[in-house]
Every structure is written in C-alpha cells, then in structure tokens.
C-alpha cells in the first residue's frame, strides 16, 4: 500500500452507526482511531474498528462526515438530494437521499461519503433537490436548509449557516464553506402561517395507495424566504 494512501479506521459499536456518522471521532490525541497498511505500526487503538474504501484504485478514501440541518416550520417533503464537493484540484458528486425518501422539518441528514483521496480542502458545495413526483402525493417545489457542515477524518470542519438556503426543485444552489463548525441562530418574527401538513401512515397494499394523515398547522415563518417566491 502506498504511504500516501491512508486507511483510517474508527472505533464504533456497529457498522450501521458508523455509516450514519455517529462514530467519526478519533479523540483529542487521535488514539481512538487506527490505520491499516503502511501506517499500522503507529496505531495504538484496539477493539471493533470500521473503515470505508472506494470501489476502484487507489481504493483508499478521504471520508467526510456530512451533516445538513433542515429548517423548522416547513412540514415534510419527498425527494432526492445530491451534493457536489469542490476543492481547488478536484470535485465529486454524492447522493444523500433517494427520490422517494421522506425529509422532515427540523431533522438532520447525516452520514459518511467516500471521497477520492485527492479531494481535500473543500471550498464550496453545489446542492440539488429533485422533488418526488407520485400519483398520490409529491414533494414540495422547494426545501430550505439552515446549516451544512463537512468534517474530515482528522476532525477538521468547514460549514455554513443561514436561514435562507432554499433548494428549488432541479435548480443548483452554490454554497461557500468556511473553516470551523458554525452555529445556527435563527429568530422568527411574530407573523404566523397556516398550512396543511400530510404524513404517510401506512404502506400501499394490493395496489391501493398509502393512507395519508392530514393536519392544519400554524407556524411562524421567515418573511425573507417567502419574499423570494
């Protein structure tokens, strides 16, 4: 194995938790992680360890934990979210959700992506949202996020926070990233918005559509978002 190609392994209780990005931490001194191959002799970590590799050469990867915060007061949607990582020397595209996945307000989209080892020092990302188009229900025409953060295997983060990151259906959104892990501070005005919210409560059976639960919600909203509609 090439000494320039590192295989970082992370201690984790289960593989599923590892893929969700819940164990992406080597500790302050880095001793909670291990290296496979050329750098194995430098590792002191023990126990159940997990790593990710690529399907093609050089097989080693530069894993990133990605965390996206969905804005509150917008209900749910269904759709595919893709993201392009861009650095000075490389770029790569990753799919975060599938077309039929439900995405909920105030939730967190989090997981690991297996980037090429040359993809380092991410400067910006381009996100795309494609709403689900079903015969019973469909996704929203746009979706709003309030934070995106990327963390590499060394614990270094880049991020951006803002209340008006609107993902329009099939329209790319360019987001510049800055060093560190930002904190969201979103204050809502006193104005309120009435909306219908639906939720799938059962799967389709024998060709019948799924059951939907509808409710009327009254929520605060950010005027700046709706001024763009």
The CA dihedral of 72, 68, 228, 221, to the nearest 10 degrees, is: 10
Question: 119 with 65, same domain?
Answer: yes
Question: 34 with 67, same domain?
Answer: no
d(CA 42, CA 30): 11
- Domain assignment present for residue 219? The answer is no
d(CA 103, CA 50): 28
Between 96 and 39, the higher pLDDT residue: 96
Tens digit of each residue's pLDDT (9 = 90 or more) over 105-143: 999 999 999 999 889 999 999 999 999 999 988 999 999
Q: How many domains does the chain have?
A: 2
Report the pLDDT value the prediction gives residue 203, as an integer from 0 to 100. 67
Question: 87 with 169, same domain?
Answer: yes
- Domain assignment present for residue 194? The answer is no
- Domain assignment present for residue 209? The answer is no
- Domain assignment present for residue 160? The answer is yes
pTM of the entire predicted model: 0.76
Q: How confident is the model at residue 97 (pLDDT cuts 50, 70, 90)?
A: very high
Question: 4 with 82, same domain?
Answer: no
Q: In the chain, what percentage of residues exceed pLDDT 70?
A: 76
Question: 172 with 133, same domain?
Answer: yes
Q: How many residues does the chain have?
A: 229
Question: 25 with 136, same domain?
Answer: no
Question: 172 with 94, same domain?
Answer: yes
Average pLDDT of the chain? 83
The 10 Å CB-count burial string (b at 16+, else e) for 70-108 is: bbbbbbbbbbbbebebbbeebbbebebbeeeeebebeee
Question: 13 with 65, same domain?
Answer: no
Q: What is the mean pLDDT of residues 159-176?
A: 95
Question: 128 with 83, same domain?
Answer: yes
Q: What is the mean pLDDT of residues 101-106?
A: 94
- Domain assignment present for residue 4? The answer is yes
Between 63 and 208, the higher pLDDT residue: 63
Question: 26 with 71, same domain?
Answer: no
Tens digit of each residue's pLDDT (9 = 90 or more) over 3-30: 567 788 898 999 999 998 888 888 777 7
Question: 12 with 73, same domain?
Answer: no
Question: 101 with 171, same domain?
Answer: yes
- Domain assignment present for residue 130? The answer is yes
Between 101 and 200, the higher pLDDT residue: 101
Q: What is the mean pLDDT of residues 79-102?
A: 96
Tens digit of each residue's pLDDT (9 = 90 or more) over 74-84: 999 999 999 99
Domain housing 90: 61-184
- Domain assignment present for residue 93? The answer is yes
Q: How many CB atoms lie within 10 A of CB 116?
A: 18
88-102, 140-154, 179-193: which range is least confident on average? 179-193
The CATH code of the domain that includes 143 is 2.60.60.20
- Domain assignment present for residue 191? The answer is no
């Amino acid at each position: 194995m090439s000494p320039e190609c590192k295989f970082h392994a992370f201690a984790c209780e289960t593989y599923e938790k590892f893929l969700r990005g819940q164990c992406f931490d080597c500790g302050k001194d880095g001793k909670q992680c291990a290296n496979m191959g050329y750098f194995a002799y430098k590792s002191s970590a023990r126990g159940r360890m997990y790593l990710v590799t690529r399907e093609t050469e050089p097989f080693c990867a530069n894993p990133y934990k990605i965390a996206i915060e969905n804005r509150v007061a917008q209900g749910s949607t269904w759709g595919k979210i893709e993201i392009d990582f861009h650095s000075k020397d490389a770029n790569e595209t990753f799919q975060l959700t599938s077309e039929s996945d439900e995405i909920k307000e105030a939730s967190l989209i989090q997981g690991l992506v297996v980037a090429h080892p040359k993809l380092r020092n991410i400067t910006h990302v381009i996100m795309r949202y494609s709403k689900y188009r079903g015969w019973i229900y469909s996704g929203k025409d746009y979706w709003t996020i309030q934070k995106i953060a990327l963390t590499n295997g060394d614990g270094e983060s880049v991020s951006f926070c803002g209340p008006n990151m609107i993902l329009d259906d099939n329209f790319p959104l360019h987001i510049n990233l800055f060093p560190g892990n930002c904190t969201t501070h979103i204050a809502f005005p006193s104005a309120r918005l009435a909306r219908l919210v639906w939720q799938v409560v059962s799967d389709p059976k024998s060709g019948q559509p799924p059951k939907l639960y509808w409710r009327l919600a009254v929520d605060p909203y950010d005027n700046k978002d709706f001024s763009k509609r």
